[in-house]
Amino acid sequence: MKTVSKSAIIIFMFILTACHTSKKSKMHKIASISEASGISYCDNTDTLIVAGDEGSIYEINAKGKILSANKLGNYDLEGAVCENDRIILAVENKGLLEVNRKTLKTKFFKLKGSGFKITNKQGIEGIAKIKNRYCLAVQSDKKRDSKLLIVQLDKNSADVQKVIKHKIIDSAGLAYKNKKLYIVSDKKDALYIYDIDSNKIDKKIKLKKFAQEGVAFDKKNNIFFADDNGAVMKYKLKELGLQ
């Protein structure tokens, strides 16, 4: 009887594990969208809006089917908040863009206020809505420069009312759920649960390595990530220890 060497068994097990991991990753990918940089759940239509770096927005269902795709212009879109009649998009180095969901008519709001500075190296990378205000993530590779901006939309501007230093580097996407802010860091491959009232991190959840640029939750215990490498990923909350 021919025996199998120990090294051959190790190689076989490595290949089997790699194939299983690859298959599992493919199971989580539900859509291919170029440079997906932000995602938001639309409560009234049970769909998701995905923003792309190249200035396009996509509406998809929970299975990843693309329902519509629209080019808005030469915008570097980095995050989205879907509301009943409009979408508010974060434009990296400029401000916020309002889009009417029916007509696609747009309106731009320039950031206004003190205590912050938006640059090419420290642009807006995420957005979430908290009650009637918006929370913006300013991306930075240094803890001391990592901050959140709390803004209120005025008639023609986005007024910065508060600056919060949260010390989470590369904060690339935001979502607000159950009075907590969920922040993804691409550089750390992690999801942070952040208490914005006490200004502290409650929990850090390690993620699989991919280009996390946005995060959203639906009403069916799913969490979605925008992957800047060109995908939308979907997980059950319990897979990440969130349930």
Residue 69 in any domain: the answer is: yes
Residue 1 in any domain: the answer is: no
Burial 79-101 (b: 16+ CB within 10 A, else e): bbbbeeebbbbbbbebbbbbbeb
Question: Per-residue pLDDT averaged across 124-143, rounded?
Answer: 92
- Interval 64-73: pLDDT, tens: 999 999 999 9
Residue 89 in any domain: the answer is: yes
Element (H, E) at 22: helix 6-28
Which tokens hold the place of 217?
């939750």
Q: Is the per-residue pLDDT at 3 higher than 60?
A: no
Eight-state DSSP code of residue 240: G
**Torsion-angle region of residue 131: left (phi > 0), alpha (psi -120 to 50) or beta?**
left
Predicted local confidence at residue 24, as pLDDT: 45
- Interval 13-45: pLDDT, tens: 444 444 443 444 567 999 999 999 999 999 999
Predicted local confidence at residue 117, as pLDDT: 74
Q: What span, in angstroms and rounded, lies between the C-alpha atoms of 21 and 63?
A: 21
Cα dihedral 211/216/220/222 (nearest 10): 20
Q: What span, in angstroms and rounded, lies between the C-alpha atoms of 118 and 233?
A: 29
- Interval 181-226: pLDDT, tens: 999 998 899 999 999 999 999 999 999 999 999 999 999 999 999 9
Residue 153 in any domain: the answer is: yes
More confident residue, 142 or 193: 193
Residue 49 in any domain: the answer is: yes
- Number of folded domains in the chain? 1
- Interval 62-108: pLDDT, tens: 999 999 999 999 999 999 999 999 999 999 878 999 999 999 999 99
Predicted local confidence at residue 221, as pLDDT: 96
Q: What span, in angstroms and rounded, lies between the C-alpha atoms of 89 and 100?
A: 11
Predicted local confidence at residue 186, as pLDDT: 87
Residue 91 in any domain: the answer is: yes
Residue 35 in any domain: the answer is: yes
161 in Cβ contact with 151 (< 8 Å) = yes
Predicted local confidence at residue 5, as pLDDT: 55
Question: Per-residue pLDDT averaged across 113-126, rounded?
Answer: 79
Tell me the CATH number at 138: 2.120.10.30
Q: What span, in angstroms and rounded, lies between the C-alpha atoms of 240 and 243?
A: 8
User: Residue 108 is part of which domain span?
Assistant: 6-240
Predicted local confidence at residue 150, as pLDDT: 96
Burial (CB count within 10 angstroms: exposed 0-12, middle 13-18, buried 19+), residue 113: middle
Q: Is the per-residue pLDDT at 115 higher than 90?
A: no
- Give the model's confidence band at 9: pLDDT under 50 very low, under 70 low, under 90 confident, else very high: very low
> What is the reported pTM?
0.87
